[in-house]
Structure 1
């Protein structure tokens, strides 16, 4: 099924209608996690891929997959091509897919571990930390993207240190888990990255905001969050 998925994405160069083939690949309630972004539901997943492919002038995927003992499919993927300005761009990572009883993909997780856009890569690793439910795996992911004294400044709270932030992530995942997480825009200026986001929550609630990431080498040292909607994603954690 992953073969059909990547083949369908490569056909997107022939027009948006090519992505209609994803309807036969995704389960109705599919959970898609893609380079730190997340959506749930077949229609949302298809629209997500329409937005993604619209950012490329042309591209091709390469992938390898294997079936695990539990029936899941794992592998590696890469994408290379030209952006809308004709510049070369690329990305790569790991992929895991879980199939339902009908053989359709019910959960698809693509990580971003390499690529030509350094800022996008760091944002993906940052979001993966907040997406990881297992504390041990999360600790390893945090070492790969956060400094030991990482500081997060929300409008109402400040959290310092990987362990403190990991404990806070546990609370967020339990009490205020988002239904969707979308990156709206991003840019980098030397050791600073600014990116905007759109998170969806139960009850048709939406939180819009942005973050400034201060880098120390290839690690994030400080995260400053700006949003007028913080009550939506923090009210369940207090």
Structure 2
């Protein structure tokens, strides 16, 4: 049976050099769709289409492979992978899990693609780092934190410092309750040995935006320190102190 997830990947793969084929994503996205893709997130049909245009522009050519299973509640789950060439002609790949929720009209109301492996190690680690901050359940989040943070990980905001997975887990609860982002986009990233530098843009209630960057200090495949730089720290920490 063909599912809306099959249609989604078919549309993403059919985009031409002008990405005009992606316009048809409007037919399968709900108006207020929540898109979470490899740690990034946007809400709304037009923003979701624009997100996919930006993603397609990073590839010279690519192809997805996926599985799709319909669950008892009507949601769709599966695995996905993507492989191809970047704009410089270098081979690139990524893979993860996908879950889809549908509205009463059969359109996608929530699309969540995790990134758990790929050729760009830094990008995979950033995705896992961001995914932790999206998990609503503290117990589930604690398990995910073990997969990406050292036990005594340090999280340094411009005004506050948090040390340890348990402390940071509690802080994430506060952030999700009092200052949840409505959107989060990765602007750029690069890696130098055990350091990753990446820039971000987040959107919040009241049309507020915050721009900044982070340096991630790695210990193997785990993050042991997160250092945040932003002139907009009052936006993303408002009400959390």
Q: Which TM-score band (shorter chain)?
A: over 0.9
The gaps in structure 1 that reach 5 residues or longer are none
Counterpart residue number, 1:59: 62
TM-score of the superposition, structure 2-length normalised? 0.98
Q: Using the TM superposition, give the Cα deviation of residue 189 of structure 1 relative to its aligned residue in structure 2, in angstroms.
A: 0.1
Tell me the equivalent position of 2:191: 188
Q: Among 198, 201, 207, which residue is 2:201 paired with?
A: 198
User: Which sections of structure 2, spanning at least 5 residues, go unmatched?
Assistant: none
In 1, Cα distance between equivalents of 2:232 and 2:179: 13
Deviation, structure 1 residue 15:
3.1
Cα separation, 1, equivalents of 2:191 and 2:210 = 23
CA separation in 1, counterparts of 2:157 and 2:17? 44
Say which of 105, 115, 133 aligns to 1:130: 133
Counterparts of 1:103 and 1:18, CA distance in 2:
21
Secondary structure of 1:127's counterpart equals helix
Aligned to 2:18: 15
Matching residue of 1:147:
150
Q: 1:48-87 alignment to 2 at 5 Å? A: 48-87=51-90
Kindly report which structure 2 residues correspond to 1:1-238, keeping only aligned pairs within 5 A, or say none: 1-238=4-241
1:142-194: CA deviation from partner (whole Å, max 9, x where unpaired): 00000000000111100000000000000000000000000000000000000
State how far apart, in whole Å, the 2-side matches of 1:200 and 1:61 are: 29
**What is the CA RMSD across the aligned residues, in angstroms?**
0.6
SS, match of residue 109 in structure 2: strand
- Report Cα offsets for 1:37-86 as digits up to 9, x if no partner: 00000000000000000000000000001011111100000000000000
